[in-house]
Amino acid sequence: MCCALVRIATSLLVIGLVVTGSPGHTASAINATIDLTTGPRRIFTPAVALGAGIDGHSQGDSAAIYRPEILRAMRSAGLGPLSYRLRTELAIEAWHWNPRGQWSDPARREGYWASDDQSDTPILASYGYRLPRRGNTIDQAENNGYSRLVDGDVTTFWKSNPYLDQRYTGEDNRRHPQWVIVDFAKRTPVNALRIAWSNPYAVRYRVQYWAGEDPQDPDEYPQGHWQNFPTGQISAGQGGNVTLRLSQRAIRLRFMRILLEESSASAPPAAKDPRDALGYAIWELHGGTLNASGQLHDVIRHGKKADRQTRLFVSSTDPWHRAIDIDKEVEQPGIDRVFSSGIRQDLPVLMAVGALYDTPDNAAALLRYLKRRGYPLRGVEIGEEPDGQYVAPEDYGALYLQIADALRAVDPAITLGGPSFQSLWDQPMMAWSGTEVAQDQPWLARFLSYLQARDRQAALGFLSFEWYPFDEVCAPPAPKLQQAPVLLRSALDELYRQGLPRAVPLYMTEYGYSAYSTQAEVDLTGALFNADTVGTFLESGGATAYLYGYEPSPIYRAPDCNTWGNNTLFLSDESRRILAPTATYHGIALLTQQWLGNPNQPHAVYSVRLTKGRAAGRLPVSAYAVKRPDGQWAMLLLNKDSKQDQVVALHFLQPLARISEPFLGPADLYQFSAAQYRWQANGEHGRPLRSRPPAHSRLASHQPVKVRLPPGSLTVIRSHQQP
C-alpha cells in the first residue's frame, strides 16, 4: 500500500464541479483539487476509525433494544467499534454496574458502593442511584432530581466530594476550593445570606457576586469577575446557623457564590466513615435582604422539585448514597449483555467509568470484572462531560488521577483518557474563574497544566470530546450546515492552541447536529451533517469518531419551538420497535459500504481544496477523497445547497506538465437525495414518506465523467483509473 502511494504522489487530481441553477443556466466551474504532492493527510482503518456509542436509557429499554432483529439492523449500518456512554454521570448518580456488591456500611445498606467483580450471574441491566447529598438543582439526564441546599428540608444537606480532600489528593486543600453558586434568574437586591452549616463546615470562606454580564448558566464565559461583598469574607467560621450582612446597601445581582477555602474537618455525631469529615456540608441556604430590625427577607425559592427551586450549582457532590436511592429511570445496558450480544462485532470497546459521582474502588472493580471475563477493551474513558457540569479542571484532574491509579493497579497497560468534553471552551468558565488556584485559562489548558505539574502527562492516553455544535435548533439549518466543517476544524485547532500534544489521539465519542431535538436530525440535513463531520474529522487527523444514536429511538419535541427529531439511525416507537431508517442511517451506510472499502485494511485520506473564482471557502460543497485498499479512488461529494443542482466534471491535472486529462469511466455512482428520502413533519407522528437506500448507476467506459448533484444530496464516485 505504501509503495503504491509513493508512485502516485507526484500528481494532483483535480475534480471540476460545474454548478447549474435553473434549467438552461450553467454557472462557472468549482474545482476540487486533491493534493497528492505531499502524500495523504493520514492513514486510517475504518474498523478502528468509525464507530458508534451505546447509552443508558429508561427501565426496560436494554431488553427492548438488545433483540436479534434490532441488533441486525444496527450492525447493517457498517459501523465498527463501540463507545459505552455513562448516563448515570449526567444524572448526578452513582453507577451500580453490577447490582451485586458491597456497601461501606453494610448494616444500613448505605455509604460508598463497590460492585462485585467476582459474581458469575450475567449482568443484563444496571442502574444509577440518586445522591441524597446532591447540590445541583438541574442535571442533564431525566432532570427529576433537585438540590438539597434549598429543598426546605432541615434533615437533608449538600456535601462536597470527600475525594477532593488532601487525604486522597495528597495536595494542600487550598488547591481545591469548593463553591456554591445561587442563580436568582434575574438581577435581585441582595445584602444578606443565612447559612445553616452541617459538619464539616467552612472555617474560611468568601461570599461573592458576579460583577459583569449576566450569562444563562455558570458554564459560560461572560465579561466580568467575581467580586467579594464588602463584609462577606469570613476567616474564623464556627459553623451553626449564621446570618451574614454582606453589605449595608443591597446590591442588585443575578449570581452569588460562596467560595469555600478551609474546612473544619469535623465529623457529624456518630459518624464512623472518615470521609464524613472531609469537605464541606450545608443544611440549607436563605438569601435576600435584611430590614432595619434584622429580619431576613428570603428571595430564594425552596422546594423538592427542580422547577420549584432557585437554581443552584455546586463544585462537587459526595457520592454517598443508600439502597433506597435506586433510579430505575436511568438504566444502563448490562456489561454482559453488551459484550455477548454481537453488537461489538468482536472489536474492543471503549469503556466508561464514573469520576464525578463514583469512587476509584468501583472503577477498579469494573476493570477486574472485564478482565476476568476476557472482554477486550480499546481503553477506559474517565468521567463524562465535567465541563458541562461546572467542575473545575483541577478538581477533575485530581479525581482523574485517583481513578487512573486504581485502574493501573489492575492493568498497568490499560489506555486511559477523557474528559469527554461537552463543549470545547476557549475561555475561562464563569463558575470557577477567579479562584486563585491558577491563572484564568480555558478548561483544557488548566487540566493539562495540572497533569504537567505532577509529571503525569502520560496518564492521558487519549483526549475525548463530544460534538453537538448547534444549540439554536429553531433557526434555519441551511446556514449552520455550511458552517459545520469550519467550526469543527476551528475547535480541533483550539485543542492544540491550549497545549494538547499532537501525539495524543483524538476520540470524538459522540457527534450529532445538536444535543436538542430537531427535525434536522432525522431529515437530509442530519445525513449531510454527519457525513461532513466524519470527513472533516478524518481529514484533520482524528483517531475515532463514535456516532451517537446507534439505538432505535422515538422523536421528541424541541423545548422552544415546534420541531421534532432525534439523533438516531432508526425511528422507533416508545417500545424501541423500528418504524423506519432515518436519513442518517442511509448516509452512514453510504460512507461505510461505498465510500470506504475493506474495513480492516488501511485507507489513505487526501486533502481537497475547493475553488470557484474568488469564492473559495464560501461554497456549498464539501469533498473528501480516499484511496481505498482495492486501488480505487473514492470521492464523497456533499451538495449542501437545498435548492440548486450541481454538475460534476472530473479530470486529472499533472502539475509539472500542466496537462489536464479527463477522468474517464468506468465508474460507480451512488447518490442519496430527496429522490430516495423525504421526511413528513407531523409532530410526534412525523415519519419518512419514503426511505430508500442510495441509487446506484454505472458510468460508461472511456467517457469523461459528468454527474449531476441534486440539491441537498450525498454522492460517492468510485473509479480504478489512475492519474
- Same domain? For 299 and 341 the reply is no
Q: How far apart are CA 315 and CA 431, in angstroms?
A: 8
In a domain, 14, yes or no: no
522: closest CA among 491, 469, 558? 558
Name, in order, each residue with C-beta under 8 angstroms of 407's C-beta and a sequence gap of 6 or more: 353, 363, 364, 367, 380, 414, 416
Other CB atoms closer than 10 Å to residue 355's CB: what's the count?
30
* Torsion of the alpha carbons at 219, 222, 225 and 227, rounded to the nearest 10: -80
Q: How far apart are CA 250 and CA 189, in angstroms?
A: 5
- Which regions of the chain are under pLDDT 50? 1-27
C-alpha cell at 239: 459553623
Write down which residue in 318, 341, 376 finishes a domain.
318
In a domain, 406, yes or no: yes
In a domain, 686, yes or no: no
- In 33-183, which ranges are continuous DSSP H helix? 46-49, 61-65, 68-75, 87-90, 166-169
pLDDT at 423: 72
Give the domain extent around 164: 158-318
Provide the pairing of β-strand 706-709 with 659-662: unpaired
654: closest CA among 666, 663, 646? 663
- Same domain? For 267 and 350 the reply is no
Angle, vertex CA 723, rays to CA 624 and CA 716, nearest 5: 30
Domain tally, the chain: 2
User: Any idea what DSSP says for residue 174?
Assistant: G
Residue with cell 479512488: 633
C-alpha cell at 232: 462577606
User: Is residue 689 classed exposed, middle or buried when 0-12, 13-18 and 19+ CB atoms within 10 A define those classes?
Assistant: exposed
- Same domain? For 314 and 345 the reply is no
321: closest CA among 100, 105, 57, 59? 105
Name, in order, each residue with C-beta under 8 angstroms of 201's C-beta and a sequence gap of 6 or more: 237, 238, 239, 240, 263, 264, 266, 280, 281, 282
Q: How far apart are CA 649 and CA 652, in angstroms?
A: 10
Q: Is the dihedral of CA 219, 225, 230, 232 positive or negative?
A: positive
Rounded to two decimals, the pTM is: 0.94
Partnered with residue 319 across adjacent β-strands are none
- Contact present, 543 and 579 (Cβ < 8 Å): no
In a domain, 604, yes or no: no
- Same domain? For 387 and 312 the reply is no
CATH value at residue 120: 3.20.20.80
In a domain, 433, yes or no: yes
- Same domain? For 340 and 197 the reply is no
Q: How far apart are CA 533 and CA 636, in angstroms?
A: 12
- Same domain? For 491 and 562 the reply is yes
- Same domain? For 346 and 470 the reply is yes
- Same domain? For 243 and 282 the reply is yes
pLDDT at 13: 45
Write down which residue in 252, 284, 318 finishes a domain.
318
- Same domain? For 451 and 575 the reply is yes
- Same domain? For 540 and 587 the reply is yes
CATH value at residue 271: 2.60.120.260
pLDDT at 133: 98
User: Any idea what DSSP says for residue 132?
Assistant: T
How does 270-300 read in b/e, with b if 16+ C-beta sit within 10 Å? eeeeebbbbbbbbbbbbbbbbeeeeebebeb
- Contact present, 285 and 193 (Cβ < 8 Å): yes
Partnered with residue 102 across adjacent β-strands are 114
In a domain, 481, yes or no: yes
Write down which residue in 261, 283, 318 finishes a domain.
318
Provide the pairing of β-strand 556-557 with 564-565: antiparallel
In a domain, 114, yes or no: yes
Name, in order, each residue with C-beta under 8 angstroms of 373's C-beta and a sequence gap of 6 or more: 335, 336, 339
- Same domain? For 334 and 308 the reply is no
In a domain, 3, yes or no: no
- Same domain? For 338 and 479 the reply is yes
Cα of 165 vs its chain's centroid, Å: 28
Q: How far apart are CA 511 and CA 120, in angstroms?
A: 35
Partnered with residue 289 across adjacent β-strands are 297
